[in-house]
Amino acid sequence: MSAHSISLGRPNKQLLTNQLPGIITALKKTLTNAFTIPALSLCLIISSANVYAGPKVLFKTTKGDFVVELEPEKAPKTVENFLNYVNTNFYTGTIFHRVINGFMIQGGGFTKELQEKPTKPPIPSESQNGLKNAKYTIAMARTNNPDSATAQFFINVRDNAMLDYPSRDGFGYTVFGKVISGFETVENIKFAPTTVMNRMADVPSEPIVIQSATVQK
């Protein structure tokens, strides 16, 4: 037999003994992966299904409907306050009284006659919650006092980073949710023609009325 011949005879017992630990380790890895990967995938599926979704509020308006999803974990006091107004039908019959295309649409405080509705006491700002005034988010309107928000809210129709904490006034505006459906309604509202009424600017020429705001079950 030449030096380059390959033997197909009896296997070398010592060679198998030396390779055995590596073979066992490889088998263990194969078996572990066979059970771990499906189990991990199942865990990920279950985890995804259990991702927390906040309360949803359906707004019906004379321009169409839209739904907002709230974030009580990020803005607990703001969401509680907002839902109190929703659950007492406060927003029914109010209007979007300030509409600025390229900025935001604001509502929830005035009647069609531009009479301001009486509200509950103001709430403290939660603008430091990490939520940004991104397009289609909902935030609380306020005066120059950061702790003056009551019922009025606005929906950003563009990314308004200048409203994020800390804004120019050092406080920012509290975001507490986002629109998740009915984007076309928000778009319809932002394009509404506006005028000046009762010394208020940017008032839609034709009232855009909130017919109802209800928590979705």
Q: Which fold would CATH assign to domain 56-215?
A: Cyclophilin (2.40.100)
Residue 47 has pLDDT above 70, yes or no: no
CA distance 10 to 105: 86
| Strand duo 175-181 + 64-70: pairing | antiparallel
Look at residue 26 in the predicted model and tell me its pLDDT: 58
CA distance 133 to 173: 8
Q: Which of 47, 56, 54, 57 is nearest to 73 (CA)?
A: 54
Residue 49 has pLDDT above 60, yes or no: no
- Mean of pLDDT values over 57-74: 99
Q: Taking the CB of residue 56, how many other CB atoms lie within 10 A of it? A: 16
Residue 179 has pLDDT above 90, yes or no: yes
Q: Is the peptide bond before 207 cis (omega within 30 degrees of 0)?
A: no
Helix (H, G, I), strand (E, B) or coil at 165: coil
Look at residue 123 in the predicted model and tell me its pLDDT: 99
Residue 183 has pLDDT above 80, yes or no: yes
Q: Which of 213, 150, 175, 181 is nearest to 73 (CA)?
A: 175
Q: Which of 52, 57, 58, 56 is nearest to 73 (CA)?
A: 52
Look at residue 167 in the predicted model and tell me its pLDDT: 82
- Mean of pLDDT values over 185-197: 98
Average of per-residue pLDDT values in the chain: 85
Torsion of CA 179, 185, 191, 195, to 10 degrees: -90
- Mean of pLDDT values over 131-143: 99
**Which region among 25-29, 73-77, 99-103, 202-206 has the lowest average model confidence (pLDDT)?**
25-29
DSSP one-letter code for 146: T
By CB neighbour count within 10 A (0-12 exposed, 13-18 middle, 19+ buried), where does 143 fall?
exposed
- Mean of pLDDT values over 64-87: 99
- Split at pLDDT 50, 70, 90, the class of 6 is very low
Look at residue 168 in the predicted model and tell me its pLDDT: 86
Domain boundaries, the chain: 12-51, 56-215
